Amino acid sequence: MNELPQQLVNGLLLGSMYGLVAIGYTMVYGIVQLINFAHGEIFMTGAFGALTVWLWLPGGTSMWLALPLMIIGAIVVAVAIAVGAERFAYRPLRTAPRLAPLITAIGLSLALQQAVWAWYPEAKSARTFPQIDGGPFEIGSVTIQTGDIFLVLAAPISMAILAYFVMKTRTGRGMQATAQDPDTAKLMGVNTDRIIVIAFALGAAFAAVGAVAYGLKYGEINFRMGFILGLKAFTAAVLGGIGNIYGAMIGGVVLGVAETLATAYISDIPGMDKFGSQSWADVWAFVLLILVLLFRPQGLLGERVADRA
């Protein structure tokens, strides 16, 4: 049986989850040239926000009713933390050398992990995430797991909302202007401080949607989940061309597909049979990052700009 279509779909789904998280890295970088390394943890807190809402709801609530509320809970928590981080951790450092906010981001990332570990009930080990009933769904020879149905819907809808916002709304145009030339954007009347807050908030909201997808996909969440996933999403953002929001989604999908196909097929190559297991998936993702940095540092959709990291 040819399992390639199945592997491609698996990669596409995994990749669109990376893409949802990657949007936050790329948006914030595009506006303030900061790699917000705490973004993976903002994603993680979103998952715990969703879980909290689930635990508040009376037992036996239908998942179809609970899910929208859980998404809102995830977004509220992630956005609040991201906006708070911008206001109190990053804004005071806006004129500092670039290294200072970067170190702050890493510190914040550890602090958020530890805060959830210490204070969220029973979060010292993984917590079960509620699941959608029914499924899996068969389309021809391809099976989509029940937990992934959410991604099938949420990823394209999120992308459409984002594209509409950035291209068609006034705030979106102000955001593009701020990314291209912040001082001149101010001369046009764009309140760039507000744009920066919106960039953090939007990135967090998409990460929160990604966090719900993660919980549904893997069935459990934990305080460390943002670390590897954050790195993968960052890889996706770099892969697509950091600063480019479409690049984030495309980079995510390319990364997801590459990782899935490598895991599935690399052991077929003579002499590579040791490297085919799932535990090598992360390695292939980061090999891809290294290759991109070597051969196309501006990313797939990025422009050649001298001062971009």
Residue 221's DSSP bridge partners are 127
Cβ-based neighbours of 249, under 8 Å, separated by 6 or more? 16, 19, 22, 23, 155, 159, 240
- Regarding 308 and contact with other proteins (CB under 8 A), the answer is no
Cβ closer to other proteins: 85 or 166?
A: 166
- Regarding 141 and contact with other proteins (CB under 8 A), the answer is no
CA angle 103, 91, 299 (to 5 degrees): 60
- Regarding 188 and contact with other proteins (CB under 8 A), the answer is yes
Cβ closer to other proteins: 110 or 188?
A: 188
Q: Which range of residues in 69-77, 99-107, 174-182, 231-239 is near other proteins by CB under 8 A?
A: 174-182
Query: Helix, strand, or coil here: 161?
Result: helix
| The token pair that represents 39 in the structure block | 């973004």
- Regarding 166 and contact with other proteins (CB under 8 A), the answer is no
Among 92, 184, 219, 273, binds other proteins (CB under 8 A): 184
- Residue 36 contacts residue 105 (beta carbons within 8 Å): yes
| Burial class of residue 55 (count of CB atoms within 10 Å of its CB; 0-12, 13-18, 19+) | exposed
Any idea what DSSP says for residue 302? Answer: -
- Regarding 298 and contact with other proteins (CB under 8 A), the answer is no
Cβ closer to other proteins: 96 or 153?
A: 96
- Regarding 170 and contact with other proteins (CB under 8 A), the answer is yes
Nearest-approach distance from CB 30 to other proteins, in angstroms: 11
- Regarding 174 and contact with other proteins (CB under 8 A), the answer is yes
Q: Could you tell me the CA-to-CA distances from 178 to 27, 28, 49 in Å, in that order? A: 11, 11, 31
Q: Which range of residues in 185-193, 198-206, 211-219, 289-297 is near other proteins by CB under 8 A?
A: 185-193
From the list 45, 219, 55, 61, the residue with the least C-alpha distance to 147 is 219
Nearest-approach distance from CB 194 to other proteins, in angstroms: 9
- Regarding 130 and contact with other proteins (CB under 8 A), the answer is no
Q: Which residues bind other proteins (CB under 8 A)?
A: 170, 173-174, 176-177, 180-181, 183-192, 303
